Amino acid sequence: MDRYPVKLVLPVQWGEMDAFHHVNNVHYLRWFESARIAYFAAVGLAIELEARPRLRPILARGTIDYRAPVTFPDTVTVEATVRSFGTTSFVMGYRLHSQAQQRLVAEGESVIVVLDAEGAKTPLPPELKARIVALERGAPPP
Amino acid sequence: MDRYPVKLVLPVQWGEMDAFHHVNNVHYLRWFESARIAYFAAVGLAIELEARPRLRPILARGTIDYRAPVTFPDTVTVEATVRSFGTTSFVMGYRLHSQAQQRLVAEGESVIVVLDAEGAKTPLPPELKARIVALERGAPPP
Amino acid sequence: MDRYPVKLVLPVQWGEMDAFHHVNNVHYLRWFESARIAYFAAVGLAIELEARPRLRPILARGTIDYRAPVTFPDTVTVEATVRSFGTTSFVMGYRLHSQAQQRLVAEGESVIVVLDAEGAKTPLPPELKARIVALERGAPPP
Amino acid sequence: MDRYPVKLVLPVQWGEMDAFHHVNNVHYLRWFESARIAYFAAVGLAIELEARPRLRPILARGTIDYRAPVTFPDTVTVEATVRSFGTTSFVMGYRLHSQAQQRLVAEGESVIVVLDAEGAKTPLPPELKARIVALERGAPPP
């Protein structure tokens, strides 16, 4: 699975640059997060805001490789995929592309742990896993 | 009422500077917000996160006067006061001081409207108003 | 002059919401800033990052009226205009529209002061003023 | 080397929480960055903002392990260390501690590559390396 089925196109904002005149590193994580949330929505892993959602995805680990600095003005494309499954977790991959530079500017990965309403790690529901597999295989999101 | 009874001391972070090498204007609003929340806590205007809090303070209007740029490294002091009351609202004032420059660097004001659990504007409860008046007069927060 | 000749379409990101489940107020200022920078670019008020640019626009005052909360998912349109000129300053207006709500969600205004390379207030160059007037009148940006 | 010779104490701001009522993951990176910049300052790796600084530290890779969510109100302690040296790079480690929870809430690591004025990877100057080693050994910053 390495197709990046979810893709967002996001404008770089001037104010995202820091004193080095590059987009500050924190904004890459925001972009990855936006792609992750779009992926969750596509597979029905509801980002419920109730006090006790049935399933709550939690970020356990994140990695980011910065390939090239991004500067304003630019538009970036951020893509997300699910790379592998654990019992109570799964691994997502991200890719960030700059339109102005026409190149890959960052890659990332994160481990998502799934908690139940009590906050305990819980096995991935088979229907959620099936929807992820279908999305990765190219099925349109349900 | 112009005593600024609530005061926070906050470090300037390098990453808050933008490409002009000044703290970006959005961070001033974050600092004012932090002072506002501290004020709310001091008068028991709970920042409840339940689905339907009894009272919900809403930001209706904000003004900010930038007196001088702030740069890293520095530590700022941000202060909050309640300037006046309306029927279903009140006006807060803010003041931002730079330790490195030993001067006032910004001032601000915001109008806070109070909503009830249904989201309708509601008169300020007399006990809330009394706690604000007491705090402004120098009474220790309850 | 009230035409808002500059317009940006920006996606709301999930992580821009705060614990009240609304887009946090600081992000409105970021959106206004992005529209302001686009306006500056359209009239050749270079956002130069050299140590001593010939002209440096400085934010002196900002006002924002929050009309309705914005939530994810949504796409906002932010527009900018120049409302009036002072000797060494001009006033910009902003308007924020929510596609999901099909309504105006915020309005804002800011006073921009123009500094010279020495950091002193300087009269607006006539050619800059002419380009702004042309843009407001509907001339395509040069 | 695992002593974390640089330490910052930072208040959690209410507005750093997201719609899950936890501090959003991007702010951990900002905190790590602040500790990194403080470390750079302590060893004289100037965070120069000139157009062509002699040495420019660049973030090449970042990793973060989230141990527990952080919520407002809280104060965090963020610490930084240099873990190892490569020829043109070094590895920094970070640790984040919550005062309210009295526990470690996150750990991180980043690879810093050093570029010269032309933007090419350059060997770490021996005097910079010596200052880092001294700081890690407990010598007061020069």
Task: Note the pTM of the prediction, 2 decimals.
Answer: 0.94
pLDDT, tens only, C66-85: 999 999 999 999 999 999 99
Q: Contact A34/C49, CB-based, under 8 Å?
A: no
Structural domains of chain D ordered from first start: 6-136 (3.10.129.10)
Q: Which amino acid is at A33?
A: E
DSSP-assigned letters across all residues of D24-59? -HHHHHHHHHHHHHHHHHHTT-----SSS-SEEEEE
Alpha-carbon distance values, B20 to B71, C38, C57, D95 (Å): 10, 16, 10, 30
Provide the 10 A C-beta neighbour count for residue B65.
17
What are the residues facing B109 on neighbouring strands? B63, B93
Strand order in the sheet with B89-98: B6-11, B75-85, B89-98, B103-116, B55-66, C55-66, C103-116, C89-98, C75-85, C6-11
The full 3-state SS of B10-22, as one line of letters, equals EECCHHHECCCCC
- Least confident span in A27-31, A52-56, A134-138: A52-56
pLDDT, tens only, B23-50: 999 999 999 999 999 999 999 886 655 5
Which chain C residues have any C-beta within 8 angstroms of a chain A C-beta?
8, 10-11, 13-15, 21, 30, 33-34, 37, 41, 47, 49, 72-73
> Which positions of chain D have pLDDT values less than 50?
1
pLDDT, tens only, B8-30: 999 999 999 999 899 999 999 99
How many CA atoms does the CB half-sphere of A137 hold within 13 Å? 7
Q: Which residues of A touch B50 (CB under 8 A)?
A: 51
Residue C14 DSSP one-character state: G
Question: Contact A77/A100 with Cβ under 8 angstroms?
Answer: no
Give the whole-angstrom CA distance, residue C89 versus residue D21. 41
Nearest Cα of chain B lies from the Cα of C30 at a distance, in angstroms, of 6
Q: Which residues of B touch C22 (CB under 8 A)?
A: none
- Tell me, what's the pLDDT at D1? 46
Q: Is A135 a residue whose pLDDT tops 70?
A: yes
> Chains contacting D with at least 3 CB pairs below 8 Å?
A, B, C
Nearest Cα of chain B lies from the Cα of D78 at a distance, in angstroms, of 13
A77's enclosing H/E stretch is strand A75-85
Q: What ipTM was predicted for this assembly?
A: 0.91
Q: Is A139 a residue whose pLDDT tops 80?
A: no
DSSP 3-state assignment of A81? strand
Question: Contact A1/A59 with Cβ under 8 angstroms?
Answer: no
